[in-house]
A and B are shown apart, each in its own frame.
Chain A
Amino acid sequence: MNGASSYPGRPRTFKHPGRPNPVRIQSENSKKSRHVRLALQPGLSLFDAIVNSLAKINIENASLTILGGVFDNLDYCVAPPDPKKLSVIAYTKPIKAGKAYMVFGNATLGESMEGQPLVHCHAAIRTEDGEIKGGHILTQSCIIGSKAISALVTSLEGFKLVQSFDAETNIALLQPVRE
């Protein structure tokens, strides 16, 4: 149950399907990263606006801050417990927010298991119905509205973010791999 209390919640340690990797923090660093201000173009999907623009300047791995802006269509999903118990959680079917305002978003650009660009994005949004919601953004069906949306891009150099199967959680996750 959600609510206020005078005592912070004791963390729950959840059991995942697979054996945990003893390395709990997988990290890499770039000595030199590029910073780019990107204008996400009207009419494009959020996925294409990020991937295609950055590919032109050879950025294939990056962290993005997406500033506020209007989408002609925005779809998202949330992550309740997995009814099939294959993982601790499973994403829901797409939830339609309609013509929506993205209040703030963060995204990661990397490479999928198939070797294609992958964008992982979470954001707070105001839906067409006026509700303030948040969740996992389905970037390929989110269409940018009539005004460009600014994003600050920090490129990741010297290593890649590659989606690979994680035995502990039983899902595919982005993980940093030194080039």
Chain B
Amino acid sequence: MGEFRVIESGNMGRVAYARIAPNEDLVTGIEKLCLREGFDNAFVRGALGSLVDACLTNMDGNFTSIKGPAVEIVSLAGEVRTEDDGALVASLTGVVADPDGTIYGGAFVAGSNPICMTFEVTLEEWLPKI
């Protein structure tokens, strides 16, 4: 599954919804949700919630920190894949709004996006044809 195929055919499977609690990390929280629900691969179908602070990657390899609380998640797209070593990896990108409503966008850095009040996420399982 680690090799990136140009076209991967498959089907959508189950749908999972979760509420993830404060101080859990957005990225690893979604990976742990997949562990709990037994999803090897999944797409984010919908997500909203708030972060204490947000941390996004820049194109130059640096990071942008957005101070809260709360930083609202207003858009989130992404997927979870099972790597060759068996590890689940969530790749998430999105748009957030700071406490003034100013928005920022980028990829969420694993371990640096603690949830503030709640995070609601809907995942759809992806079942590739092997």
Does B96 make an interface contact (CB < 8 A)?
A: yes
A132 to B108, CA, bound (A): 20
- Interface contacts (Cβ under 8 Å), in number, total 218
Say yes or no for A58: interface residue by CB 8 A criterion: no
A4-B63, A28-B16, A122-B72 given; A173·B48 CB < 8 A: no
We find that the number of chain B residues with CB closer than 8 angstroms to chain A is 63
Which residues of B lie under 8 Å from residue A5 when comparing CB positions? 62-63, 65
Residues of B within 8 A of A121 (CB): 48
Contact B101 A173 (CB under 8 A): no
Q: Looking at the assembled complex, report how far the CB atom of B17 sits from the nearest CB atom of chain A, in whole angstroms.
A: 5
- A124 contact from B50, B62, B103, B109, Cβ within 8 A: B103
Asked whether, in the complex, the Cβ of B72 is within 8 Å of the Cβ of A136, the reply is: yes
Contact: B96 with A134, CB < 8 Å?
A: yes
Is A30 a contact partner of B46 (Cβ separation < 8 A)?
no
Interface mask (A1-35 → B, CB under 8 Å = 1, otherwise 0): 11111111111111010001101111111110100
Given A9-B63, A124-B103, A133-B103, is A154 in contact with B50 using a C-beta cutoff of 8 Å?
no
B25 at interface, CB cutoff 8 A: yes
Residues in A neighbouring B52, C-beta threshold 8 A: 11-12, 14
| Nearest-neighbor residue (CB-CB) of B105 within chain A | A124
Q: Which of A118-175 contact B (CB under 8 A)?
A: 120-124, 132-136, 154, 156, 159, 161, 166, 168-169, 171, 173-175
- A129 CB, nearest partner CB in chain B, Å: 12
Q: Verify B48–A14 contact, CB threshold 8 A.
A: no
When distances are taken between beta carbons in the complex, the residues of chain A under 8 Å from B99 are: 78-81
Q: Are B111 and A8 in contact (CB under 8 A)?
A: yes
Residue of B nearest to A28 (CB): B17
Interface residues of B in 52-82 (CB under 8 A from A): 52-53, 55, 58, 61-70, 72-76
CA distance A25 to B29 in the complex (A): 8
A63 interfacial contact with B, CB 8 Å: yes
Report how many residues on chain A are interfacial, defined by Cβ distance under 8 Å: 67
Closest to A132 in B: B103
Contact A25–B15 (Cβ < 8 Å)? no
Contacts of A78 in B (CB 8 A): 72, 97-101
Determine if A107 is an interface residue (Cβ-Cβ < 8 Å): yes
Q: Which residues 78-130 of B have a CB within 8 angstroms of A?
A: 95-104, 109, 111-114, 116-118, 120, 122, 124
Most-contacted residue by chain B among A27, A95, A154, A161 (CB, 10 A): A27
- The distance in angstroms between the C-alpha atoms of A11 and B54, with both chains bound, is 9
Cα–Cα, bound, A48→B64 (Å): 38
Whether B36 is near chain A, meaning CB under 8 Å from some CB there, is yes
Jot down 8 A-B pairs with beta carbons below 8 A, ordered by A.
A1-B67, A14-B52, A20-B22, A79-B116, A80-B69, A104-B95, A106-B46, A106-B48
